[in-house]
Amino acid sequence: MEITASLVKQLREETGAGFMECKKALEETNGDMEAAKKVLWERGLAKAEKKAGRAASQGLIHAYIHGEGKLGVLVEVNCETDFVARTDDFKKLVHEIALQIAGMAPEYVNVEDVPQDVIEEYKAVYRKQAEAEGKPEQVVQRIVEGKLQNFFKEKVLMEQPYIRDDSKTIKELVKEAIALIGENIVVKRFARWTLGE
């Protein structure tokens, strides 16, 4: 199939990738738009992993108020440059993260932020529950690990399923944004308040 400029342009508009990257992806997939998107997405995530170590000291602090002032969220999301911090794509990502925090009430940003004593406390509770059911030790260990992963999905922002598309986590949403924007992005911290609490 011939790769036309309009096909490349369409892929570029849908993915935000560069012209040459889009052209190469279409050539590799014989003009299959969906397959080309997948190729670009996979390459973008690989690039996102490489960018993860770069310093992110610019960004935004975003406030979101919900329910006529009954719930509020402040979130700090960092990127590498103030230029990116002012882009609509970055602002949209930060707003989506604020909505996630408002809707899902996470307590921690990353798994590494959960204090070890909290993890041990939950492990002990899960272990007692499994042992009370008379499960063998190997099964008990798997149950404890499974329940701990569920705890992380509930309480850790980056592990939570995205409220608009539960097929991906917030961590994956941020990685997609890194691939699209081209800079490292870090959710630094957040606070969530509910009236009367």
- The CATH number of residue 45's host domain is 1.10.8.10
CA gyration radius for the chain?
21
Q: Which domain holds residue 147?
A: 115-154
Secondary structure (3-state) at 164: coil
35 and 92 together in one domain: no
pTM over 0.85: no
Q: What is the spatial distance between Cα 19 and Cα 7, in angstroms, rounded to a whole number?
A: 11
pLDDT digit of tens for each residue in the chain (197 aa)? 688 888 888 877 676 666 777 888 888 888 888 888 888 777 765 555 555 556 677 999 999 999 889 999 999 999 988 898 999 999 999 999 999 999 999 999 999 999 999 999 999 999 898 888 888 888 889 999 999 999 999 999 999 999 999 999 999 999 889 888 888 899 999 999 998 87
Residues 6+ apart with CB under 8 A from 148: 119, 122, 123, 126
Inter-residue contact 63 to 74 (CB < 8 Å): yes
29 and 103 together in one domain: no
